[in-house]
Structure 1
Amino acid sequence: MTTTIAYSDAAGLAGTELGYTEWLEVTQDRINLFADATDDHQWIHVDPERAKDGPFGTPIAHGFLTLSLAVKFWSELFDLTDVTTKVNYGLDKVRFVSPVTVGSKVRMTAVIAEVTEVKGGYQFAVDQTIEIEGGSKPALVARGLYRFYA
């Protein structure tokens, strides 16, 4: 469910928990498309037969594929209205905690940790956790930085 807030209320959002996205299955097709887009065709990602004998018994998603899903998930969780520009400003910290095996389902939860005024708008520091359905540890934890300009 998307939390939609007006720009005029942005300053007070630090500490806001945004809930969870829907689950998303990470398919071999998605992994292969990411491999093509990044020219990273390491066998552990794209060769199911060879990956059977690898450390995870099946292909795993690229760590950066999992990270890239944070952009999709962020837009599912939060929207700030009355702005002219929304910018993915960067990351402060990223950890790839657990591999995402092909066929796994992942989702994200997020907390707006900080809201800082910047020239022309606000910067949000958002603590994001991508978890694996049935997993005991998250796939990824990151602090994303997003800017909203009025």
Structure 2
Amino acid sequence: MPQVMIIAKNFMDMVASLPAMKLDNLYDNFYICEAVLRSLPLLAKKYVLQLIYIEEPTSAKEFKEWLLPEGFSKHRVAIDRLIQLRVFIETTDRKNQTSYRLNPKFQGNLQTYLKHGVVPRESMSSSITVRLPTSEELDAYALEQWEVMHCILMLSC
């Protein structure tokens, strides 16, 4: 159970305060899953992405092994937020050891996103006159952006 109670001050706090059944119904929608992922603290995002293709529960002990000693407070905040949003489902085994696994609906929608890039949308109307870039133009733009980022990181420009 989360150790920190949240008082709804913003949209994500309000989402976290929803009953479990309503949250699970929200996770039927890919866009909600994406919004929740984007709203998570950085360490929580890292945990979600590390477990995106893992079906079995991961023990709390294993999570602690991933931490540096000074990261425990951020870890606790991340785990609490993931549980409150039902992104993580917490289980306790016979030995009273806690484990976490991703919410199956949330996990499935994010896996689809990672496999296909975007969820298929409605087809565009033929009345739209904006020309979409070609694959080659997108590749050229991506390469240019990559080189700019590399230049900035290496400070060699």
Larger strand fraction of residues:
1
TM over 0.5: no
Larger helix fraction of residues:
2
* Structure possessing the higher relative contact order (Cα contacts under 8 Å, 6 or more residues apart): 1
TM-score range, shorter chain: under 0.3
The TM-score, its normalising length taken from structure 2, stands at 0.24
